[in-house]
Chain A
Amino acid sequence: MKNRWTLYDPRLAWMLIAPVLLLLIFFLVLPIAVMAVYTFFTFVTAGVETSALTAANWHEFLTDSYYHGFLLKTLRVGAMTALLCGVLGYFPAYFIWATSFKHKWLLLLLLIVPFWISFTIRTFSWINILGEQGVINVALIKMGIISEPLPMLYTEGAVIMGLLHFLLPYMILNVYVSLESIDRTLISAARSMGCTSAQAFREVTLPLSLPGLAAGLLLCFVLAAGSYVTPQLLGSGRDALFGNLIYDTIMSELNWPMGATLSIVLFVVLGFFAAIYTRYMGMSQIVKGLGG
Chain B
Amino acid sequence: MPDRSEVSLSPRPASAGAPSPAAGGSASEAEKPAVEFRDIDIAYGKFVAVRDFSLSIRKGSFVTLLGPSGCGKTTILRSIAGLVDISGGQIMIDGRRVDDVPIYKRNIGLVFQSYALFPHKTVFDNVAFGLKYRNVPKPEIARRVGQALDMVRLPGSEKKLPSQLSGGQQQRIALARAIVFEPQVLLLDEPLSALDANMREEMRVEIKKIQKATGITAIFVTHDQEEALSMSDRIVVMNAGSVEQIGTPEEVYETPATAFVADFLGKANMLAGTVSKSDGTTAVTLAAGQTVNVTSPRPLASGSKVTVVVRPQKLSIGAMAGANRLSGRVVSTSYLGGSAIYEIDIGGKTNVRANAPINGHVVREGETIEVGFDPGGCVLLDESGQRIS
Write the residues of chain A forming the contact surface with B, with a CB cutoff of 8 angstroms: 183, 185-186, 188-196, 199, 203-204, 207-208
Contacts and interface: CB of A to CB of B under 8 A. Distances in A.
A190 B129 contact: yes
A195 B114 contact: no
B81 A192 contact: yes
Contact of A191 (B104, B114, B181): B104
A272 to B, nearest CB: 27
B133 A194 contact: yes
16 contacts: A185-B114, A188-B83, A188-B116, A190-B129, A191-B82, A192-B82, A192-B104, A192-B108, A193-B130, A193-B181, A194-B133, A194-B181, A195-B104, A199-B133, A203-B118, A208-B120
Contacts of A190: 118, 129
Contacts of A185: 112, 114, 116
Interface of B: 81-83, 102-106, 108-110, 112, 114, 116, 118-120, 129-130, 133-134, 177, 181
B120 A193 contact: no
A206 B114 CA distance: 21
Contact of A194 (B83, B104, B116, B119): B104
A190 B130 CA distance: 8
B103 A191 contact: yes
Contacts of B119: 186, 208
Given A188-B83, A194-B133, 5 more contacts: A193-B181, A195-B104, A195-B133, A199-B133, A203-B129
A186 B118 contact: yes
A258 B120 CA distance: 48
Nearest to A204: B118
B114 A207 contact: no
Contacts of A183: 114, 116
Contacts of A196: 102, 104
B116 A193 contact: no
A190 B81 CA distance: 12
A199 to B, nearest CB: 7
A191 B118 CA distance: 12
Nearest to A196: B104
Contacts of B104: 191-196, 199
Q: Which 5 A-B pairs have the closest CB atoms?
A: A194-B133, A193-B130, A189-B116, A185-B116, A192-B110
Most buried by A among B82, B104, B119: B104
A204 B129 CA distance: 11
Q: Considering residues B109, B114, B133, which has the most beta carbons from chain A within 10 angstroms of its beta carbon?
A: B133
B120 A194 contact: no
A207 B125 CA distance: 14
Contacts of A203: 118, 129
Nearest to A193: B130
A206 to B, nearest CB: 10
Contacts of A191: 82-83, 103-104
A16 B89 CA distance: 63
A189 B112 contact: yes
A199 B129 CA distance: 12
Contact of B83 (A192, A193, A195, A208): A192
Nearest to B128: A193
Nearest to A182: B119
B177 A193 contact: yes
B368 to A, nearest CB: 54
Contacts of A194: 104-105, 130, 133-134, 181
Contacts of A192: 81-83, 103-104, 106, 108-110
Contacts of A189: 110, 112, 116, 118
Contacts of A204: 118
Contacts of B130: 193-194
A127 B105 CA distance: 54
A188 B116 CA distance: 9
Contacts of A199: 104, 133
B316 to A, nearest CB: 48
Nearest to A191: B103
Nearest to A187: B116
B120 A207 contact: yes
Contacts of B181: 193-194
A186 B162 CA distance: 13
Contacts of B109: 192
